[in-house]
Structure 1
């Protein structure tokens, strides 16, 4: 599990740096760091498919990808729902945003105190 911790540390570092650069108005550098954070988060989900925090990491990666699109000046990126009763219609913001919190607590994550601190700082 130490390799997963290292990947989490690296992803967190990239994300923290991206947010900092984003706030400083350094768009190109922020985009680069957001991309790296996404790559690390997706790498974790592929290497450790049964990891408890994968769903959260996927959500974070999607949020970073939306931010990249916004920084590039691309359209809002409203997702199209491919199947279902609203097939082909754009989903509203309220439909895309999670309103229910995932059932994962800090106490469920064991031995990642440094990562927890970095995540709390980024939030």
Structure 2
């Protein structure tokens, strides 16, 4: 009978073999060895009572899981990682009137296009991308998170990062601006929220992106139409992760504390998007100055 330690020892043995084959370029042999190691690590993490030991092994688990992902992409005829997910069919809705406020995209924003934001990208890698590609390792308490609130100053790349995540997993990107709801469709906002989620379900897997959610959901924004919209959004988000397994939601705000508690609790993860550091600013300058004549 296995003890906790024997699960870890067996995982380490598989890792040694995987690394050896990996270094030799034998990816077809390395991949199943990494997967076997991950299975043993997963069992060890499930039963190990020592928190520090679990944290140390979890870090290693993530490293090997990412390497397995990279090898899997190589084995899949060199295609990008997001090709493991089926393409989404063209939608039949979102035509005119109310639904014209909903934008549908198939974004093409790569990780490398997003300057800086390494912590945010790592958070999405661990919370979204890896669980989608290796769902067998993310069960129980480690299940994939599906609703995210990006907060931080204006112009820091929150929307751009959301599109990069959608590109990475090949999800169709449905977006709506809260300011547009408030100013243009105020009396019909609740219907638009319902339509947004329904359209995403019909075209799953899909990303729902709600920009400037504080405009719609801030405290003090109280009237009959606003109350209906808030209630509708909470009801729709309750199904995410339960009946809607292929829907992800990202919302952005510059003022997270302006949101009232009921909606804040609906987000599985809140990610801070800071101002770009020096390295990120250099990256952006080079990208925008490329192929341009500066006199």
Say whether the fold is shared (TM-score over 0.5): yes
Structure with more contact order per residue of length (Cα contacts < 8 Å, sep ≥ 6): 1
Q: Which stretches in structure 2 are left out of the alignment for 5+ residues?
A: 74-80, 83-109, 112-120, 128-147, 153-157, 165-295
- Aligned CA RMSD, in angstroms, stands at 2.9
State the 1:50 CA deviation: 3.4
In the other structure, the counterpart of 1:18 is 18
Query: What TM-score do you get using the length of structure 1 for normalisation?
Result: 0.60
In the other structure, the counterpart of 1:85 is 151
Q: Distance in 2 between matches of 1:54 and 1:84?
A: 28
In the other structure, the counterpart of 2:62 is 62
**Is the CA contact (8 Å cut-off) linking 1:42 and 1:57 kept in structure 2?**
no
Q: Spell out the pairing of 1:35-54 with structure 2 (5 A cutoff).
A: 35-54=35-54
Q: Spell out the pairing of 1:19-34 with structure 2 (5 A cutoff).
A: 19-34=19-34
**Is the CA contact (8 Å cut-off) linking 2:14 and 2:34 kept in structure 1?**
yes
**Is the CA contact (8 Å cut-off) linking 1:11 and 1:36 kept in structure 2?**
yes
Structure number with the higher strand fraction is: 2
Q: Number of aligned pairs?
A: 90
Q: Distance in 1 between matches of 2:55 and 2:45?
A: 8
Q: Which stretches in structure 1 are left out of the alignment for 5+ residues?
A: 92-123
State the 1:41 CA deviation: 1.0
State the 4+ residue runs in structure 1 displaced beyond 4 angstroms: 75-79
Q: Distance in 2 between matches of 1:56 and 1:7?
A: 15
